[in-house]
């Protein structure tokens, strides 16, 4: 976009009144209208207030709570919860400063991954379709937030294609967050350069001295020097907004991390803390039942203890007869996939694993065998295992929480003449039972601590691995075929993403053991 175009840009600041940011712009600056014309935005710059005009709720508390719980731990989350009444009484700016102090103090910048790994899912769920429609049409998209940039940047840039993010910068000491915010815009990195260019064209760059003033300039000053339209969005109007459907995300949300599976507003977080003692006891009881009782007894007892499951079998009952060893392949939802499939079959399977913690292996009621990630060695190992008895392989090599299937390993089509595909779906309401961090051994515990974890296990008709529709095929084609079959059955989208892609995004490593 040329500087002339930029100078002519129309800034659409869609916002609703926040405590410290009254609607002065409504009377002081530019034209204001309730609904912006969406035509011709492609040649213009749209400036959007994240909390005010993009998200359906203006409260930032749940996002800070996610930072506190995921990056700081449950005690930090509890402290933030206890401070909630105070934060609600104080003004917006003071409240943000307190939350930043509680959530960020002492965290190492290098280790802070919540902004990219956990928060985008929750932000995306709160995006209003109506607000996004305006932002999406802008030739250049600028987002402003009163939250720290590290919290919103990943979501806005990675998932909504926003070019410039104006958030708050955090002070650092020796690579650790101090819990304080910078008063001045710092550095001349990509973002700040973009600010500079943008505001130079808007003839206000020389006024920018603090991050907060940037915000004030956008709200109250910038309209005096350029042509602009302002769209104000009231809280009542936002309540009528629709959530942005996941099918309309500019980039699909395939991977995310973190333990918390619900939006942690104050009430929900309080419920979670109250649930903890009971949840822990319940998880212990469920694990004991799983470990000690035969499947015939443990399935009904676990259902009584709130673990709901549903078994679907194909018309071809042969695959469950148990007359000889069988290779089962399934999409990977959690570490408990093997247990649910074993329980559904009523007999133990052997399951291959990549990165299960030693503790989970010790406690596993079914036999687990580690793969080496060496193709020849793994193929030999799996061939041997499938000759010894029923074997379960998860050809994705890692779990996926969303309705997507990662690339299937070709090995599953090379080690046996036929496979039984198993389509799995699972649901949790409080804690995710998967992780990419160091505390993987807690994955089963978190899954079992959910009030009503659910699983659906569907045995599909067995597939001969040598041919598709009577036509000979390669193992690569067969792997894709199996992925497509399971994807179609579940309504999941097939991707070519891998375990490495997931771990690079969420954990900053390649997911090797
Ligand atoms: O989601 P992950 O990467 O912990 O996968 C766990 C699997 O069981 C790998 O064997």
Q: DSSP class of residue 42?
A: G
**Residue 72, pLDDT above cutoff 60:** yes
For residue 418, what are the β-bridge partners? 464
Q: Which atom of ligand 1 is nearest to the CA of 397?
A: 9
Over residues 168-189, the mean pLDDT reads 78
Distance (angstroms) between ligand 1 centre and the Cα of 84 equals 36
* pLDDT on residue 38: 62
The confidence band for 513, taking pLDDT boundaries of 50, 70 and 90, is low
Radius of gyration of the chain (CA): 26
With pLDDT > 70 as the criterion, what percentage of the chain qualifies?
Answer: 80
How far is C-alpha 282 from the chain's CA centre? Answer: 26
Count Cβ atoms within 10 A of the Cβ of residue 86 and give its class: 0-12 exposed, 13-18 middle, 19 or more buried: exposed
Distance (angstroms) between ligand 1 centre and the Cα of 358 equals 13
Q: Which atom of ligand 1 is nearest to the CA of 503?
A: 3
Residue 26: count of CB within 10 angstroms of its CB: 13
pLDDT single digits (tens) 432-483: 999 998 899 999 999 999 999 999 999 999 999 999 988 999 999 999 999 9
Distance (angstroms) between ligand 1 centre and the Cα of 482 equals 20
For residue 328, what are the β-bridge partners? 392, 420
Report which of 434, 455, 437 is spatially closest to residue 446, judged by C-alpha positions.
434
* pLDDT on residue 229: 55
Q: Which atom of ligand 1 is nearest to the CA of 499?
A: 3
Q: Which atom of ligand 1 is nearest to the CA of 354?
A: 10
How much helix, strand and coil, in percent to the nearest 5, is found in the chain? Answer: 45, 20, 35
**Residue 6, pLDDT above cutoff 80:** no
Q: DSSP class of residue 68?
A: I
**Residue 137, pLDDT above cutoff 90:** no
How far is C-alpha 259 from the chain's CA centre? Answer: 10
pTM of the complete model: 0.84
* pLDDT on residue 271: 98
100 and 179 Cβ atoms separated by less than 8 Å = yes
Q: Copy the structure tokens of residue 437.
A: 């961090």
Q: DSSP class of residue 118?
A: T
Question: Which residue's C-alpha comes closest to atom 6 of ligand 1?
Answer: 398
Taking each helix axis as running N to C, give the angle between helix 74-89 and helix 266-292, from 0 to 180 degrees, rounded to the nearest 10. 160
Q: How far apart are alpha carbons 513 and 505 in whole angstroms?
A: 17
> Mutation test of ligand 1: which of 336, 350, 351, 355 has the most ligand atoms closer than 8 Å to its C-beta?
355
For residue 14, what are the β-bridge partners? 48, 231
pLDDT single digits (tens) 311-360: 988 655 445 545 568 999 999 999 999 999 999 999 999 999 987 888 88
Residues flanking ligand 1, CB < 6 Å:
335, 353-356, 398-399, 434, 440, 511
> Mutation test of ligand 1: which of 259, 335, 404, 440 has the most ligand atoms closer than 8 Å to its C-beta?
335
343 and 298 Cβ atoms separated by less than 8 Å = yes
Distance (angstroms) between ligand 1 centre and the Cα of 511 equals 9
For the ranges 21-25, 220-224, 366-370, which has the lowest average pLDDT?
21-25
More confidently predicted of 271 and 196: 271
Distance (angstroms) between ligand 1 centre and the Cα of 214 equals 45
The confidence band for 37, taking pLDDT boundaries of 50, 70 and 90, is low
């Amino acid at each position: 976009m040329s500087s002339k175009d930029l100078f002519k840009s129309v800034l659409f600041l869609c916002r609703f009144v926040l405590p410290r940011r009254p609607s002065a712009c409504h009377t002081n600056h530019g034209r204001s209208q309730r609904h912006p014309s969406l035509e011709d935005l492609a040649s213009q710059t749209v400036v959007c207030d994240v909390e005010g005009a993009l998200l359906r709720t203006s409260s930032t508390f749940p996002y800070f709570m996610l930072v506190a719980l995921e990056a700081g731990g449950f005690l930090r989350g509890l402290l933030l919860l206890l401070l909630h009444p105070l934060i609600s009484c104080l003004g917006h700016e003071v409240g943000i400063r307190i939350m930043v102090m509680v959530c960020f103090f002492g965290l190492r910048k290098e280790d802070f991954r919540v902004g990219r790994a956990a928060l985008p899912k929750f932000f995306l769920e709160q995006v209003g379709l109506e607000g996004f429609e305006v932002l999406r049409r802008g030739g250049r998209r600028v987002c402003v937030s009163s939250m720290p940039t590290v919290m919103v940047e990943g979501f806005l840039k990675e998932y909504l294609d926003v070019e410039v993010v104006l958030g708050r910068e955090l002070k650092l000491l020796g690579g650790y967050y101090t819990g304080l915010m910078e008063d001045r815009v710092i550095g001349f990195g990509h973002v700040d350069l973009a600010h500079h260019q943008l505001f130079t064209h808007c003839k206000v760059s020389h006024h920018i001295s603090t991050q907060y003033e940037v915000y004030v300039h956008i709200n109250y000053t910038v309209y005096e020097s350029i042509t602009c339209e302002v769209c104000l969005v009231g809280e009542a109007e936002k309540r009528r907004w629709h959530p942005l459907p996941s099918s309309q995300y500019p980039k699909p949300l395939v991977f995310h991390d973190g333990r918390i599976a619900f939006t942690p507003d104050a009430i929900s977080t309080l419920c979670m803390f109250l649930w903890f003692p009971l949840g822990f006891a319940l998880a212990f009881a469920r694990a004991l039942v799983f470990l000690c009782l035969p499947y015939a007894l443990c399935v009904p007892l676990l259902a009584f203890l709130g673990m709901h499951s549903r078994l679907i079998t194909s018309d071809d009952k042969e695959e469950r007869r148990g007359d000889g060893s069988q290779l089962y392949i399934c999409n990977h939802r959690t570490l408990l996939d093997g247990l649910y499939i074993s329980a559904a079959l009523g007999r133990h399977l052997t399951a291959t694993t990549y990165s299960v913690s030693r503790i989970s292996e010790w406690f596993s009621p079914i036999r687990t065998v580690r793969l080496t990630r060496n193709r020849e060695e793994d193929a030999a190992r799996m061939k041997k295992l499938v000759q010894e008895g029923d074997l379960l392989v998860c050809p994705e090599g890692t779990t996926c929480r969303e309705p997507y299937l990662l690339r299937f390993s070709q090995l599953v089509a090379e080690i046996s003449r036929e496979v039984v595909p198993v389509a799995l779906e699972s649901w949790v309401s409080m804690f995710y039972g998967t992780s990419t961090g160091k505390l993987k051994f807690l994955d089963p515990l978190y899954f079992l601590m959910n009030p009503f974890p659910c699983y659906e296990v569907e045995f599909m008709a067995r597939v001969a691995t040598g041919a598709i529709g009577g036509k000979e095929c390669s193992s690569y084609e067969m792997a894709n075929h199996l992925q497509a079959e399971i994807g179609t059955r579940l309504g999941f989208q097939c991707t070519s993403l891998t375990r490495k892609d997931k771990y690079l995004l969420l954990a900053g490593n390649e997911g090797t053991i």
